[in-house]
Structure 1
Amino acid sequence: MEQFRGQTMEAVEVESKGSHGGEGDRRSIDRRSSWGCTLLLVNNCLQYTSYFALSTNLVNYFMVELHAGSKSAANSVTNWVGTGSITPLAAAFLADSFLGRYWTITLFLVISVVGYGVVTASASAALQSAVLFYAGLYLVALGAALSPVLSSFGADQFGDDESERARQSSFFNWFYFSLSVGSLVGGTVLVWVQTAHGWRLGYGIPALLSVLAVALFVAGTGAYRRHQPPGGSPLTRIAQVVVAAVRKCDVEAPDDAALLHERDGDDGMSAIQGSRRLAHTDQFRFLDKAAVETAADKGVQPVSPWRLCTVTQVEELKCVLRMLPVWACGIIFAAAYTQISTTFVLQADTMDPRVGGFRVPAAVLSVFDTLSVMLWVPLYDRAVVPLARRLTGHRDGLTQLARMGVGFVILTIAMLTAGVLEVARRRVLAHHGMFVDADGTEYVPMSIFWQVPQYMVVGAAEVFTFIGQMEFFYDQAPDAMRSVCSGLSSAAYALGNYASSALVVIVVRATARGGSPGWIPDDINDGHLDYFFWLLAMLSVGNFGAYLLVARWYNYKKTAD
């Protein structure tokens, strides 16, 4: 660990010399940074290939190999996915507080290897065991928690000048692109391997890919340009500000921020290890009381941080408080987004799946969402940003908040598109009834591929909002809290899934009364799924209205000069 830290400091010194010592040094540093980031993108792709190879067909493994019922299998999958959406906060906390991002990534990559190895071993006929499989499965969920840490570590590789910030913004686009490539390969090719050649090979390949991910990450150690040191527990620092402010509730905070307590020095760094000083802001003025140095504080040396905090420490909490409303708006967005794996599939289950002699499974249509992301990422990076930059004059074309807002609007259009399709499907059903295939399968005589437009629109919304969230929570977080704040995106996604489930329960109970089948009955031909899509569109519009107010109120973070 100490040896690595020494290497890190040396790398920072070389970078500093390069910024002043010639174009050749600068190009050398840029090449090293590009190589390191490329390795991280490949690593992310390998991880998500493995993850989706496991998750996409997981419900069938529970039913076929572990003999679980359909409801039990579905619950097992959702519980596992929910766990995998929450654990990133734990990994992020560990990275920011104690281990740093490099060592946290290394640790969780190794945990993934062990998890996939156990899953593969449990798929063997000789070792098949539900307990063993669950153990491996939840180790994988824990290992998969490093996504926000990995994205933050990748963004750390860029400097603060204009060209570097532009490259950093582009990195987030390609990070999500690599995720999409992994989900496409894992959810199609490796699922086919599981179906055609068995679970042992189908799970063995992800295990090998996870080993390769570890090897690539470690091999790139010398190419990684920047390493954010751990700054201690952010929860402790936040608690200290709250306690100190409450203790001094009767103290008047000065109008001149220069009178508040801050670390001395001209290097621009705060008392928090590896964190730059933050400029004072006027929002949440009550918290400034924590940085007021009273006569009692001057009589005690050193002063306890539970009594006196620095301006930067206070501003850390303010940054988090400012981000929370933006984060909350992402929950409704995620609730609408999750329809691609729920109501979109229910809709497709009733439509004509035939393409010649082949039947397209309803869930396979989600591949068009992934393809849309893969199309929109380079389109956004190479066309939208330059065009928007000319129109707005902003370095990134669109501000982070504007980018997310565009995604909110696009997802609303996706819900409207799904509603229009449902109206058309019901009309076809009313005019032609259900067709019955030779094997007894019933379907509405309307091709399942009419769903492609709504999946493509959802993919565009992802590129604007989900990638915008990744960049926003990284950029607006204090230096020593970037992993934790980046983990907020996955937490919003998890809560969005829960909100979607709760909304369905509420709608079913509210509409299925007096003998009415309601909007979402078991047979959606008897219901009104279109009304549910209109409801989601209305909620999205209301959420966008709230988001506009939040965006107008939000003040972007500034470091102290």
Structure 2
Amino acid sequence: MDDYDNYTHDGTVDMKKNPANKKTTGNWKACRFILGNECCERLAYYGMSTNLVNYLITRLGQGNVAASNNVTNWGGTCYITPLFGAFLADAYLGRYWTIAIFVMIYVSGMTLLTLSASVPGLKPSCSGDVCNPKAGQTAAFFVALYMIALGTGGIKPCVSSFGADQFDETDEYEKKKKSSFFNWFYFSINVGALIASSVLVWIQMNVGWEWGFGIPAVAMAIAVMFFFAGSRYYRLQLPGGSPLTRIFQVIVASFRKLNVEVPRDKSLLYETPDEESNIKGSRKLEHTDKFKFFDKAAVETPNDQLKSVANPWSLCTVTQVEELKSIIGLLPIWASGIVFATVYSQMSTMFVLQGNTMDQHIGPHFEIPSASLSLFDTVSVLFWAPIYDQFIVPLARKFTGHDRGFTQLQRMGIGLVISIFAMVVAGILEVVRLHYVREHGFFDVKQIPMSIFWQVPQYFLIGCAEVFTFIGQLEFFYDQAPDAMRSLCSALSLTTVALGNYLSTVLVTIVTKVTTKGGKLGWIPDNLNRGHLDYFYWLLAILSLLNFFVYLWIAKCYTYKKTAGSTH
């Protein structure tokens, strides 16, 4: 019995594919390498991406529109490629080997990017402020850029799930630690982001792009060393085969048995007799009563019984059916995160435009760029992540009795409420700002004498909302995903950020068209002193409030996943 308790019971193995030993693998001894890797990787990513638009304009000679579109297209790609990386991880390679392969592509891309900005021949020749890049030099830069996008696609969806794999879900003591891991994981991301958005941006603008890209490349190399240094401590979940194939098998089998009646006694539904699931790397899932139509796929007909081996396109196990049900159940929660991501995206758009109209001076000689105020979002995350883990959770646990203090859905809901207040605070500031403009007749003044630091509260609230919603989302999608689909579900959660940006674009486009009819300036004109940006903030606050009420209904209807043999 003692020997049995020395090994994990969630299907994880060590690097030699033996059952993972609890004493020598996993837990925080493994996670310190994963967190170090993530901190350096995010420093590298934000270090080269935060100021990328300025490189395209100053060194590659692109206009504002072209440079902006290239950055957003590349950024969108960085949130699409995780779907590809996640599929490979869940289906064939496993999370460790997917990260190991893609991290090498990533560091190669960072190296090429640095060379394209520093080596004669690859580096555009400049005369003063005017640069004339050759077609080959531009091509080398974009090859490097999209190598990075491909590399990040294998890391983004896998690394958080890989870290969570280091804690045995069947062990109550380790399971409590897993919740803390997601807090410290997000903390490490923001440590990297803080250094990148402050120190590295300054180096790029004041020292040179050679150092500005070179330091992130070195950080990425350190990230690689961190990752491989912890290999002997890691616990690995085995890949379970193509998750998409299993999903389509259930759908096809259900429609093939359209006229078959599901028995009232659900124990009659087809499942393998073994204790383990027939899906590699996955525990058995208990039957649920939601989406009953798909239960038809697990009904064993006389025709199925005649076959010595079950045809998966005609007969599926209960666990396979429940996998599909789990994914369908996650989609409404996923969709409710898009509006939150839209609010989050305002930090890089409307908050910056609002800040551009305010006094940016710190003392008589130094000005802070309005985009740099996003530092206060990062500081907020760095402040609230440990506060949540060390103080809020223990306090909430006394009132709720829940191990995590709040359920994952409660945590995400709290973040949605805080995001509403962030929009309200931003709107109130804009009302005050416009009143100041009208009172003093500052309609055509570029920067009114009102400190930009009045924006700090709205950035700080967004950071606080992130700690609740984004970290809760990370944990929720890992925990509620079927065992063999965790990377794919993590990638799915990342797409809310991309869709939130797209929704923001759509809203701005619609608002501009509707409010500029009849020769009016509209809510968001080039001169914000003559516009009504506050109305746009109120619109987002109302949409966030409606989204929250819909979320409450979705959360109330949601049924948490239950593995066979579990008690909760």
TM-score range, shorter chain: over 0.9
Give identity over the alignment, percent: 55
Query: For residue 166 of structure 2, what is the amino acid of its counterpart?
Result: Q
Alignment partner, residue 513 of structure 1: 517
Measured after TM superposition, the shift of residue 181 of structure 1 is 0.6
Matched, 1:538 2:546: no
Q: Secondary structure at the match of 2:523?
A: coil
2: CA distance, partners of 1:218 / 1:29: 16
Task: Give the Cα–Cα distance (whole angstroms) in 2 for the partners of residues 8 and 493 of structure 1.
Answer: 37
Per-residue deviation at 1:8? 4.1
Deviation at 1:218, TM superposition (A): 1.0
Structure 1: gaps (5+ residues): 16-27
Q: In the alignment, what sits opposite 1:154?
A: 163
C-alpha deviation, 1:435, in angstroms? 9.6
Contact kept? 1:155, 1:168, Cα under 8 Å? yes
- 1:418-442 Cα distance to aligned partner (Å, 9 max, x none): 0000000001111123399xxxx83
Indicate the RMSD between aligned Cα atoms, in angstroms: 1.4
CA distance in 2 between partners of 1:214 and 1:340 (Å):
31
Asked if 1:10 is matched to 2:4, the reply is: no
- Partner of residue 487 from structure 2, selected from 483, 496, 515: 483
Give 1:211's match in structure 2, choosing from 213, 218, 221: 221
- Residues 47-80 of structure 1: CA distance to partner in whole angstroms, max 9, x if unpaired? 0000011111101100010000011111111111
Match of 2:431 among 423, 428, 433: 423
Out of 507, 522, 526, the position equivalent to 1:522 is: 526
Match of 2:395 among 387, 391, 397: 387
Kept in 2: contact 1:120–1:203 (CA 8 A): yes
Q: What is the correspondence of 1:127-526 to structure 2 with a 5 Å cutoff? A: 127-128=122-123, 129-145=137-153, 146-160=155-169, 161-224=171-234, 226-266=235-275, 269-356=276-363, 357-434=365-442, 442-526=446-530
Q: TM-score, normalised by structure 1?
A: 0.94
Q: Deviations over 1:381-424 (max 9, x none)?
A: 01110111001000100000000000000000000000000000
Residue identity opposite 1:348 in structure 2: G
Residues 98 and 231, structure 1, Cα contact 8 Å, conserved in 2:
yes
Quote the offset at 1:10 in angstroms: 2.8
Out of 23, 47, 58, which is 1:53 matched to? Answer: 47
Counterpart residue identity of residue 491, structure 2: G
SS of the counterpart of 2:18?
A: helix
Q: Offset of 1:162 from its aligned partner?
A: 2.1
Matched AA of 1:478: P
| Contact 1:385/1:397, CA 8 A, preserved across alignment | yes
3-state SS, counterpart of residue 264 of structure 2: coil
Instruction: Check whether the contact 1:433–1:444 (CA below 8 A) recurs between aligned residues.
Output: no
Q: CA deviation at 1:196?
A: 2.4
Work out whether 1:554 is the aligned partner of 2:558. Answer: yes
User: Residues 8 and 227 of structure 1 are in contact (CA less than 8 Å); yes or no, is this contact kept in structure 2?
Assistant: no
| CA distance in structure 2 between the aligned counterparts of 1:86 and 1:244, rounded to whole angstroms | 30
Give TM-score scaled by structure 2 length: 0.93
Q: Which amino acid aligns with 1:272?
A: I
Equivalent residue pairs, number = 537
Measure the CA separation in 2 of the matches of 1:164 and 1:559.
17
AA aligned opposite 1:531: Y
What is the letter of the counterpart of residue 334 of structure 2? W
Contact 2:269–2:318 (CA<8 Å) still a contact in 1? Answer: yes
Q: Which amino acid aligns with 2:106?
A: S
CA offset at residue 301 of structure 1? Answer: 1.9
3-state SS of paired residue (1:10): coil
- Per-residue deviation at 1:5? 7.1
What CA distance in whole angstroms lies between the structure 2 residues aligned with 1:422 and 1:257? 59
Q: Is the 8 A contact 1:434 1:445 kept in 2?
A: no
Q: Is the 8 A contact 2:24 2:233 kept in 1?
A: no
Please tell me whether residue 114 in structure 1 is matched to residue 115 in structure 2: no
- The match for 2:133 is none
Distance in structure 1 (CA, Å) of the matches to 2:16 and 2:198: 40
Map of 1:23 onto structure 2? none
Following the alignment from structure 2 to structure 1, what is the Cα–Cα distance between the partners of residues 13 and 87? 20
Contact 2:14–2:232 under 8 Å retained in 1 = no
The CA distance in 1 between the partners of 2:417 and 2:475, in whole Å, is 19
CA–CA separation in structure 1 for the residues paired with 2:84 and 2:471: 21
- Cα deviation code 1:118-142 (max 9, x no counterpart): 1011112431211000000011111
- For the pair 1:38 / 2:38, whether they are aligned, the reply is no
Q: 1:308 to 1:11 in 2, by over 3 A?
A: closer
Q: Give the Cα–Cα distance (whole angstroms) in 2 for the partners of residues 525 and 176 of structure 1.
A: 37
**TM superposition shift of 1:504:** 0.4
1:9 Cα offset (Å): 3.3
Q: Which amino acid in 2 is paired with 1:186?
A: A
Whichever residue aligns with residue 375 of structure 1, its letter is: F
Contact 2:47 2:197 in 1 (8 A): yes
